[in-house]
């Protein structure tokens, strides 16, 4: 059959791989959006200060900085945690609340969030290539009428690709410095950074920062 011949020539491999990438992207999206990003539970108060810090190789708080209770949920916040008013929880190693996934990005789901961005970027680049290859530009109104949806799809893919690429590059830079989006944007308002003698007390070098984050 024709389908068997196409499979024999390997012509079905690329669309199958593309479908698998899209499926992987969708599964990562739901995993990141539905999982616990690292909520601080009231029953964990006794180990909140040191357990999370040791697991991530985080230096202990400077002597002048005291771990405080959250003014919203009243749990003792470990260092680098922050209360998210949208999730109504304190989140360990809080990075930001992402409206794309309707969830916080924190200690537990941050690596998967990076993986999701990476897979999504590959899908968008591939989709953009397919859309571009289907465009055979001609300067006529009839051509525009027949290709308007393909052209709009390509423009949307370019916009989303740019956004995802910028997000991925920014996050990888911050990870390589062992800092979070919240710490980078609010350095002057965070007590354990403001009272530290070092600009970034968590930075242990690019290689070790990346190793501790992903591995």
> Which pLDDT tens digit goes with each residue over 141-175?
666 677 778 788 889 999 999 999 999 999 999 99
| Burial class for 62, CB neighbours closer than 10 Å (0-12, 13-18, 19+) | middle
Pick from 44, 66, 63: which is nearest to 55 by CA? 44
Pick from 122, 131, 193: which is nearest to 156 by CA? 131
Q: Tokens in use for 97?
A: 């609340």
Whole-number Cα distances in Å, 179 to 14, 56, 94, 128, 137: 38, 12, 10, 33, 46
Structure confidence at residue 108 as a pLDDT band (50, 70, 90): very high
50-104: pLDDT as tens digits: 444 444 444 444 444 566 788 888 888 888 999 999 999 999 999 999 999 999 9
Choice among 84, 98, 177, 215 that is catalytic: 98
26-54: pLDDT as tens digits: 999 999 999 999 999 876 655 544 444 44
CA 182 – CA 3 distance, rounded (Å)? 52
Is 90 marked active-site? no
Are 75 and 26 in contact by the 8 Å Cβ rule? The answer is no
Domain boundaries defined on the chain: 2-8+17-47+66-214
Per residue, the 3-state secondary structure of the chain, as one string, reads CHHHHHHHCCCCHHHHHHHHHHHHHHHHHHHHHHCCCCECCHHHHHHCCCHHHHHCCCCCCCCCCCCCECCCCCCECCCCCEEECCCCEEECCCCEEECCCCEEECCCCHHHHHHHHHHHHHHHHHHHHHHHHCCCCCCCHHHHHHHHHHHHHHHHHHHHHHHHHHHHHHHHHHHHCCCCHHHHHCHHHCHHHHCCCCCCCCCCCHHHHHHHHHC
């Amino acid at each position: 059959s024709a389908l068997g011949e196409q499979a024999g020539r390997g012509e079905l491999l690329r669309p199958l791989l593309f479908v698998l990438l899209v499926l992987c992207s969708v599964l990562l999206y739901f995993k990141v959006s539905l999982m616990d990003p690292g909520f601080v539970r009231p029953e964990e108060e006794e180990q909140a200060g040191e357990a999370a810090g040791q697991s991530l190789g985080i230096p202990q708080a400077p002597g002048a900085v005291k771990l405080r209770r959250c003014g919203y949920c009243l749990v003792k916040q470990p260092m680098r945690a922050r209360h998210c008013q949208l999730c109504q929880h304190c989140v360990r190693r809080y990075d930001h609340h992402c409206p794309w996934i309707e969830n916080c990005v924190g200690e537990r789901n941050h690596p998967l969030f990076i993986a999701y961005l990476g897979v999504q970027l590959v899908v968008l680049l591939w989709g953009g290539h397919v859309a571009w290859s289907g465009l055979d530009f001609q300067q006529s109104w009839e051509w525009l009428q027949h290709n308007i949806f393909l052209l709009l799809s390509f423009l949307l893919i370019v916009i989303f690709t740019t956004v995802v690429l910028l997000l991925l590059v920014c996050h990888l830079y911050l990870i390589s410095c062992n800092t979070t989006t919240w710490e980078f944007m609010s350095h002057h308002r965070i007590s354990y950074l403001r009272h530290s003698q070092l600009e970034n007390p968590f930075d242990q070098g690019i290689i070790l920062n990346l190793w501790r984050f992903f591995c």
